[in-house]
């Protein structure tokens, strides 16, 4: 039986996503032909602003290259325009041919709305919708100085930021009282304007353009209030106009867009519309998430799969401008039925407002801190009652902040709003297909493939699903957000005096201005290492376990592992641990491989109280830092012991417990050559002998065991500690983030490392650098008790 002929007019994101969905459902059903009027295969229009902002190239935003069309037996006609639809003969006439169809999809998209004012046709007046538009803007920026963007909405501000990055003097003209007035309230709009002005952007608010000045080329703008400005480029970014002319010529009903029902079918049962050109229940959507939702419904319809149909979308907005973090979703206008709750932190310039109706969340505006955007968006979509939620909370303790880990997210929670991908879909793909990187997750699920803002959450899901395998699978070093190597980044941070991760990503033009789950913690570590006294640690850039000071378990509870120096404890600690475990109904107490007692199954809401009542420091079982110093009892108790291993182990743990390292760092002190604590597979291992101490480095346990190598033999405990200081600091200064000492040692070379570590001058300098990094590091984290006998350091860490 011959395949039905499926013809699609339009080669954009919504249309091609529909074709992808069809191919997933029933790849052999249709002979597919696609007509596109641009000379490119399908590309990510959302990322045009990244090209303008020098973060990506046109080739990097291609979603489906020409090979994809060939592999899927799709006939693609680029640089070709459809002119006429003949519904009676089921034929489409283009600028080059006639093409027949059995089913026709109209995915014609939209074009930039150009103000119908005098001068709108002058050279130098552009819309911002295509790669061609973007390349023209870049070309003009090389020849002229002044640019004006008409429209202070999402697209206009992204265009303005890009023109600033191209070196132009940029003014934004906006008719409304504040920026992005359909997505932001007045306060958030005010904060956004202030941040953009600080970046060099200029604004003329509540201005109506009456005329574009110039003869053959634009020279300026005139406004209805009689004022004028000079300019060399005008970018119209005041909205879009659905492309509906073909449908109108074919006598298909249209409004603002092509009218469709819940199955995306037009008045003709064999013609369908999807994307920006379609109008459903009076709405023509312009954001990608609803368009992809439409594509899934249409794919079901064309594959004869039962579907609930398309019933509209709850939309959200995020701005792709460095230094301006905002999130908006739902209804954000207060009225008799909708009321708002506002929190504004003017110290950190963070603004949050939620909008409620009948006890349910209907709208969200976040500015300055968008970490809760995904959680709130899921609450909004599910229309949950908020009776169990505290609407406002001030000055709660660190660690009691409301944040949702990926372990606590339900499987139906949305992770990628643009592509409609849930946590459950991502987890299933990871486990069934053996995925280990964000790029692989994107390739198989589409999550993170549009605006890219959900990539940090995808990284958290990978970490939670794979555990330590995620660490071993993640390539050592930086990520796809930048082409800079680790060493180049350090040089740039030092030479340009970059102080924050956000500043690094902006100045060094990272492709993803928010970073991803690989580069965010890496940059935080590098900045801590380069500027130990001035860089404020960025908790939001740490992995979720480090943020909560507890390891997430597979059921969504947590493990709490207090520090026990060199594996030592006392009756008071044991009693306290027992009391806490009993009080909070902790289901499992277990001796860990690091000679400590772990409390497993702690509820998230109990974490702050558990730490407070334990009155013990964390053992950093989750950290990229010193984890443990395993020790035997040594000569004080063991008849085979040659040195006091227990005292040396405690001294090492106290000396280095506050230092950040590229990866987890473990030590072992064995009191005799029998090496009961496996010192030979530790990052820094000591084996006590009759006349001193053998020092081993670069051993790693785990899935790939690496035997440590003998560095030297010394006579005193102080030499052990001094060499350890030099070794740790050299690893800190030269290691790539997420690189264990074993691969680091292999990369650097054992002889080179030995030469550096054992050289007296180098050793002294490295030791001094480490001491500088540790100055004051423990002050916020501990409290020295008055009991002189115990000399124990206690207190809960700051989350």
Give the separation between CA 52 and CA 31, rounded to whole angstroms: 37
Give the separation between CA 272 and CA 653, rounded to whole angstroms: 68
Give the separation between CA 177 and CA 377, rounded to whole angstroms: 27
Task: Classify the phi-psi angles of 312: left when phi > 0, otherwise alpha if psi is within -120 to 50, otherwise beta.
Answer: left
DSSP-H helix ranges across 383-435:
423-433
> Length of the chain in residues, anyone?
799
Q: In whole angstroms, how far apart are CA 646 and each of 465, 597, 610, 722?
A: 37, 18, 28, 18
Give the separation between CA 544 and CA 547, rounded to whole angstroms: 5
Cβ 252 vs Cβ 167: under 8 Å: no
Q: How far is CA 648 from the centre of its chain?
A: 42
- The secondary structure of residue 60, as a DSSP letter, is G
Give the separation between CA 129 and CA 126, rounded to whole angstroms: 9
Query: Would you say 638 is a known binding-site residue?
Result: yes
Question: Which 3 state secondary structure label does DSSP give 697?
Answer: strand
CA-based radius of gyration for the chain = 31
Give the separation between CA 690 and CA 668, rounded to whole angstroms: 18
- Tell me the angle at which helices 717-734 and 750-758 cross, rounded to the nearest 10 degrees: 120
Q: In whole angstroms, how far apart are CA 736 and each of 12, 483, 490, 632, 743?
A: 40, 15, 11, 32, 10
Map tokens 């860990």 to a residue: 592
Cβ 626 vs Cβ 646: under 8 Å: no
Map tokens 């992808």 to a residue: 20
Give the separation between CA 786 and CA 203, rounded to whole angstroms: 60
Give the separation between CA 745 and CA 580, rounded to whole angstroms: 42
Query: Would you say 676 is a known binding-site residue?
Result: yes
Give the separation between CA 272 and CA 265, rounded to whole angstroms: 4
Give the separation between CA 196 and CA 186, rounded to whole angstroms: 15
Strands (E) located in 198-257: 202-205, 209-214, 218-223, 228-230, 233-236, 240-242
Give the separation between CA 112 and CA 118, rounded to whole angstroms: 17
Q: Give the number of other CB atoms < 10 A from CB of residue 136.
A: 17
Give the separation between CA 501 and CA 263, rounded to whole angstroms: 46
Give the separation between CA 92 and CA 65, rounded to whole angstroms: 25
List Cβ<8 Å contacts ≥24 apart for 95-101: 99/7, 99/33, 99/35, 100/5, 100/7, 101/5, 101/6, 101/7, 101/33, 101/270
Give the separation between CA 506 and CA 494, rounded to whole angstroms: 15
Which residues participate in the annotated binding site for [4Fe-4S] cluster?
Answer: 632, 638, 672, 676
Which residues participate in the annotated binding site for siroheme?
Answer: 676
Which residues participate in the annotated binding site?
Answer: 632, 638, 672, 676
């Amino acid at each position: 039986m011959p395949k039905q002929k499926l013809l699609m007019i339009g080669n954009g994101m919504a249309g091609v996503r529909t074709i992808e969905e069809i191919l997933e459902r029933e790849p052999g059903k249709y002979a597919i032909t696609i007509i596109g009027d641009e000379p490119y295969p399908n590309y990510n229009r959302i990322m045009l602003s990244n090209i303008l902002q020098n973060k990506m190239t046109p080739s990097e935003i291609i979603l489906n290259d020409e090979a994809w069309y060939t592999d899927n037996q799709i006939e693609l006609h680029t640089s070709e325009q459809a002119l006429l639809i003949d519904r009676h003969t089921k034929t489409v006439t283009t600028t080059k041919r006639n093409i027949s169809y059995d089913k026709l999809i109209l995915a014609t998209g939209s074009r930039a709305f150009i103000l119908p004012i005098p001068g709108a046709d002058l050279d130098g007046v552009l819309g911002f919708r295509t790669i061609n538009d973007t390349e023209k803007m870049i070309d003009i920026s090389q020849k002229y100085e002044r640019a004006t963007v008409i429209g202070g909405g999402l697209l206009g501000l992204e265009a303005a930021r890009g023109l600033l990055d191209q070196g132009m003097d940029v003014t934004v003209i906006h008719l409304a009282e504040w920026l992005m007035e359909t997505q932001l309230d007045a306060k958030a709009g005010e904060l956004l304007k202030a941040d953009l002005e600080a970046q060099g952007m200029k604004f003329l608010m509540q201005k109506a353009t009456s005329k574009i000045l110039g003869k053959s080329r634009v020279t300026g703008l005139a406004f209805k209030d009689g004022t004028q400005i000079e300019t060399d480029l005008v970018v119209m970014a005041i909205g879009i106009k659905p492309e509906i002319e073909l449908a109108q010529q074919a006598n298909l009903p249209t409004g603002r867009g092509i009218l469709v029902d819940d199955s995306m079918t037009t008045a003709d049962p064999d013609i369908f519309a999807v994307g920006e050109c379609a109008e459903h229940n009076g709405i023509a959507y312009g954001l990608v998430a609803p368009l992809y939702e439409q594509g899934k419904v249409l794919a079901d319809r064309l594959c004869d799969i039962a579907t609930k149909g398309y019933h509209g979308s709850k939309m959200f907005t995020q701005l792709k401008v460095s230094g301006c973090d905002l999130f908006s979703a739902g209804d954000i206008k207060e009225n008799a039925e909708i009321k708002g709750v506002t929190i504004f932190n003017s110290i950190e310039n963070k603004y949050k407002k939620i909008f409620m109706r009948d006890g349910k969340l209907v709208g969200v505006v976040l500015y300055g801190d968008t970490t809760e955007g995904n959680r709130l968006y899921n609450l909004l979509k599910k229309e949950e009652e908020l009776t169990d939620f505290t609407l406002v909370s001030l000055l709660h303790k660190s660690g009691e902040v409301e944040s949702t880990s990926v372990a606590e997210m339900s499987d139906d929670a949305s992770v990628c709003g643009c592509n409609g991908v849930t946590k459950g879909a991502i987890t299933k793909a990871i486990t069934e297909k053996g995925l280990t990187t964000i790029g692989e997750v994107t390739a198989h699920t589409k999550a993170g493939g549009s605006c890219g803002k959900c990539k940090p959450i995808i990284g958290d899901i990978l970490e939670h699903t794979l555990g330590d395998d995620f660490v071993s699978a993640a390539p050592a070093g930086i990520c796809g957000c930048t082409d800079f190597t680790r060493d180049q980044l350090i040089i740039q941070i030092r030479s340009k005096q970059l102080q924050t991760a956000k500043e690094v990503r902006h100045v060094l033009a990272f492709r993803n201005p928010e970073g991803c789950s690989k580069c965010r913690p890496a940059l935080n570590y590098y900045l801590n290492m380069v500027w130990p006294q001035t860089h404020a640690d960025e908790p939001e850039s740490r992995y979720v376990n480090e943020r909560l000071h507890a390891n997430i378990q597979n059921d969504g509870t947590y493990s709490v592992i207090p520090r026990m120096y060199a594996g030592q404890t006392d009756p008071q600690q044991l009693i306290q641990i027992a009391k806490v475990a009993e009080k909070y109904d902790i289901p499992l107490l277990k001796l860990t491989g690091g000679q400590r007692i772990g409390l497993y199954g702690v509820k998230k809401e109990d974490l702050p109280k558990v730490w407070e009542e334990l009155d013990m420091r964390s053992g950093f079982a989750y950290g990229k830092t010193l984890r443990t110093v395993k020790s035997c009892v040594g000569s004080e108790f063991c008849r085979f012991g040659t040195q006091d291993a227990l005292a040396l182990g405690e001294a090492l743990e106290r000396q280095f417990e506050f230092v950040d390292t590229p990866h987890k760092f473990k030590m072992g002190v064995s009191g005799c050559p029998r090496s009961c604590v496996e010192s030979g597979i530790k990052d820094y291992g000591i084996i006590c002998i009759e006349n001193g101490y053998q020092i081993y480095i670069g051993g790693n346990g785990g899935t790939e065991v690496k035997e440590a190598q003998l560095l030297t033999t010394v006579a005193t405990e102080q030499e052990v500690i001094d060499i350890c200081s030099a070794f740790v600091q050299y690893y800190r200064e030269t290691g790539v983030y997420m690189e264990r000492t074993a691969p680091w040692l292999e990369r650097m070379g054992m002889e080179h490392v030995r030469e550096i570590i054992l050289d007296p001058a180098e050793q002294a300098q490295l030791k001094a650098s480490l001491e500088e990094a540790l100055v004051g590091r423990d002050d916020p984290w501990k409290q020295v008790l008055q009991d002189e006998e115990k000399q124990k350091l206690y207190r809960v860490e700051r989350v």
